[in-house]
Structure 1
Amino acid sequence: MSEPSTRHIPLAVVDATGPAVGIKQLGEDKIARSPVHFSDAPALRKPGWIRVRLPSGNAVAQLKSRLRANRLVTVCEEASCPNIHECFSHGTATFMILGEVCTRRCS
């Protein structure tokens, strides 16, 4: 048989000046050892066209009073829709057929 050849296994040398093994680093200590440095991004404002403008006038109040006079309950009100003013300002509403009884069985 032939003699086994000698193999050399390269090992990485660890710098002893780094954090101790088993000690958890938090906050600034952990971020400081990262080679990537982050800078604060400027706060960007949303463009004017994306903002919702609440309708002026009392179209919403008129439609709500008309619904109350006829004892109607809308899906928008029951679901607490954040866009209720959009429908109500156009004079449209989706009401529940059975009055205050919801047929969705959510609860």
Structure 2
Amino acid sequence: MASLYYNQGCSQRFDPETNSDHACTYHPGVPVFHDALEGWSCCNRRTTDFSDFLSIVACTKVIHNSEKPPEPVKPEVRTTEKKKLSELKPKFQEHIIQAPKPVEAIERRKQIKI
């Protein structure tokens, strides 16, 4: 009976009776997506094309294993505490100076008053 293999880049079915030391090629690292480059953390090859990323040859050869690897631990996200409005305000005094009014607006007011 064929078993499913779980390593990244392999996902082949294999027969445990014919399993050899170099039967599986896979990436032990994680996929890396940085700016426009894609690649694997275990390999130094990077590409800008996603189909090229999917076709990067795996860098490690091992025997097939049917045990699913543990899921990566995700950091716990804590909800933020509500802060008082006084805590959110800046700690300094900000002086805002308004720009002078345009000359055109001043001239219109003079014409209306006359």
What interval of TM-score do these two structures reach, taking the shorter chain for normalisation?
under 0.3
> Which one has a larger percent strand, Structure 1 or Structure 2?
2
TM-score (norm 2): 0.21
* TM-score normalised to structure 1 length: 0.22
